Amino acid sequence: MEFPEDVKYTREHEWVLVEENTATVGITDYAQDQLGEIVYVELPSVGDKVSKGDAFAVVESVKTVSDIYAPVSGTVVEVNEDLPDNPTLVNEDPYGDGWIVRIEMTDTTELDDLLTAEEYQAYIAEEEEAE
């Protein structure tokens, strides 16, 4: 399982890559593995305003449906147009071709709440322990 060091993580199993004012968001390798094969991704529209914590996209596998929560507030400036036809990109390359949206951030201090790769792995281990 991969946990790249150059992205930040949420407790809802999203990753966030920050480049200047833009945050690229996807779901983690751990999350895609838990979900199984993704059959559907429901994307927001470009231009949508989102607040941190909003459920703004949906990733669906045969067994479950998962909301994707905005890790930061801002405006959706790009969505991954390849996903509607190839939702399994999320399984195959969660940190690359399986990215979901790009958000132009309004408050970069929100990034302070995100986890590092190391913290996120510790968080997963705790969650699994609790099961």
Partner 1 sequence: MPEEPRRSPLHGAHRALGARFTRFAGWEMPLWYSSIREEHEAVRHRAGLFDVSHMGEIEIEGPAALELVLGVATNDARRLRDGRVQYSLLCSPQGGILDDVTVHRLSGERFFLCVNAANTERDFAWIRRHAPRDAEVRDASAEFVQLALQGPAATEILSSSVPLDLRSVGRFAFVEARILDMPVLLARTGYTGEDGWEIYLRAPGLGERLWAALLDAGRSWGLVPAGLGARDTLRIEAALPLYGHEIDESTTPWEAGLGRFVDLGHAFVGREALERQLREGVPRRLVGLEVRGNALARPGNEIFAGERAVGHVTSGTFSYSLGKPVALGYVRPEFAEAGRPLAIGIRGRRVAAEVVPLPFYRRR
- Write out the residues near partner 1 by the rule CB under 8 A: 36-37, 39-40, 42, 58, 60, 62-63, 65, 84, 87
Three-class DSSP category at 34: helix
Query: Distance (Å, rounded) from C-alpha 41 to C-alpha 17?
Result: 20
Tokens of 52: 């941190």
Look-up of token digits 């946990």: 3
Are 104 and 47 spatial neighbours (Cβ–Cβ below 8 Å)? no
Q: Considering beta carbons, is residue 24 or 61 the nearer one to partner 1?
A: 61
Q: How far is the CB of 64 from partner 1 (least distance, A)?
A: 10
Query: Distance (Å, rounded) from C-alpha 55 to C-alpha 12?
Result: 11
Q: Considering beta carbons, is residue 72 or 124 the nearer one to partner 1?
A: 124
Q: Considering beta carbons, is residue 36 or 96 the nearer one to partner 1?
A: 36
Q: Considering beta carbons, is residue 67 or 113 the nearer one to partner 1?
A: 67
Are 80 and 5 spatial neighbours (Cβ–Cβ below 8 Å)? no
Look-up of token digits 């036809």: 85
